[in-house]
Amino acid sequence: MQFIGATVETELAAKIVGALKEAGISFVSYLPETRLSQIMPLLREDPSFMLVPVANEAEGVSIAAGASLGGRPAAVYMEGSGVYISSYNLLVLGKRLGVPMLLLVAYYGSILDKRNSFLYAFPGIHLIPILRSLDIQYEVFQSGESLEDKIKGAVKMMHAIKQPVALLFTGAFTA
Amino acid sequence: MNRYDCFEFLAPLIKDQLVIGSLSGQRVEWGHLCRHEGNLLVASMGAALGIGVGLALVLPHRKVIVLESDGSLLLSLYNLPTLGNLSLPNLAVFVFDNEVYSGTRISEPSATAGKTDLAGVARSCGVERAMTVREIESFKLEAKKALEENVLRFLVCKVNPTTRHRQIERPNEDLWEHKYRFVRYLERTEGKKIFLGRG
């Protein structure tokens, strides 16, 4: 896939969406945010994805759990703050019930977040400790290097352990 | 009206529908009265409706029934705008509203004991067929419609706080076992693999 005159963000967004499709993800619940928002038009253009906008990331996790249990490999796209908001649902549905889903998280407030500020730094600092406390496997992406392999591997992992796996996007994804 | 009596009416009507339940005494009572393999009683507050929406979206040919409570729905009111906007015709939502948090031995009133009208909230979120029933005969009439018609229905059932569920032996099936039973039932009836991953 080639984008003439496209920004880096669009190329990376296309890589993410292509890799999700290749890995078999076909359902995405989402609460839009800034950093990864270029994936939205690409997801919308591709009829292989069923998209559901939500009002709250906890709802996004619950709906994705239903989709996953109904046979559509599911992802939830959210900002880092969404991990805090949905942590109870991640625990009781993702971990305790054991439902596979992929979390696509804009890792705002990380050291490599190009838009970092006093608004984002504290939620960013605590994001990985929250995932660790929930024992959710995660991978941090700073660039598009090996992105397809990592997404494919993350989806294999979520199916293998039947639990959520988180992908955190920072660095080049936060321009 | 008692929730147990509502469930006694509803349980024999379950054939191949998927039934998603939340927490509290309703999980114990429904699990006791309906041993359907298509039950997914998630044992969590604030999650059943979202799961039901997800299932109804990806299985549009299956009827999905959600059993909620006032406490669980109040915890997750954010589901209602999505419910209204999607208006999934294969979804029926029952909210058993006893106006108390009765999981505790001393019941405390929920917001629906005051001014909150859950059917009104649902209507204002775009759920057109949202209504409240208070008598068992009205429940039977509306529940039958909800199961038979291909349109989103949201039925708030005002029930008495009871301790009926405390007379029933609690299920011994853990949640992973319960989930596998549900998923294997779906795999069998849908003719497709749901859980992926090579063994």
Pairing verdict, β A101-106 and A74-79: parallel
Cβ within 8 Å, pair B42-A68: no
Q: What is the C-alpha to C-alpha distance for residues B186 and A36, in angstroms, rounded to an integer? A: 34
Residue in A65, A70, A67, A75 with CA at minimum distance from that of residue A96? A65
C-beta neighbour count of A45 within 10 angstroms: 9
| pLDDT tens per residue, range A57-95 | 999 999 999 999 999 999 999 999 999 999 999 999 999
Sort out which chain B residues have CB atoms less than 8 A from A53's CB and list them.
82, 85
What pTM, to 2 d.p., does this model score? 0.96
At residue B191, φ and ψ (nearest 5 deg) are: 65, 35
Q: Residue A131 has what pLDDT?
A: 98
User: Which one of A65, A71, A89 has the shortest CB-CB distance to B190?
Assistant: A71
Q: Does B89 touch chain A (CB under 8 A)?
A: no
**ipTM confidence:** 0.96
Name the residue among B50, B190, B197 with its Cβ closest to that of A66. B50
- Residue B163 has what pLDDT? 84
Summarize pLDDT for A152-168 with one digit per residue, the tens.
Answer: 999 999 999 999 999 99
CB A173 within 8 A of CB A162: no
Model confidence at B169: pLDDT above 90: no
State the alpha helices, DSSP H only, in B14-152.
25-33, 48-58, 70-75, 79-86, 118-124, 136-148
- Across the interface, whether the CB atoms of A71 and B196 are under 8 A apart is answered no
pLDDT at A162: 96
Tens digits of per-residue pLDDT, B110-160? 999 999 999 999 999 999 999 999 999 999 999 999 999 999 999 999 999
Give the nearest chain B residue to A91 (CA atoms). Answer: B44
Q: What is the pLDDT of residue A8?
A: 61
CA–CA min distance A56, chain B (Å) = 6
**Interface residues from chain A to B (CB-CB < 8 Å):** 24, 27, 29, 50, 52-56, 58-59, 61-74, 88-89, 92-93, 96-100, 156, 159-160, 162
Residue B108: Cβ within 10 Å count? 11
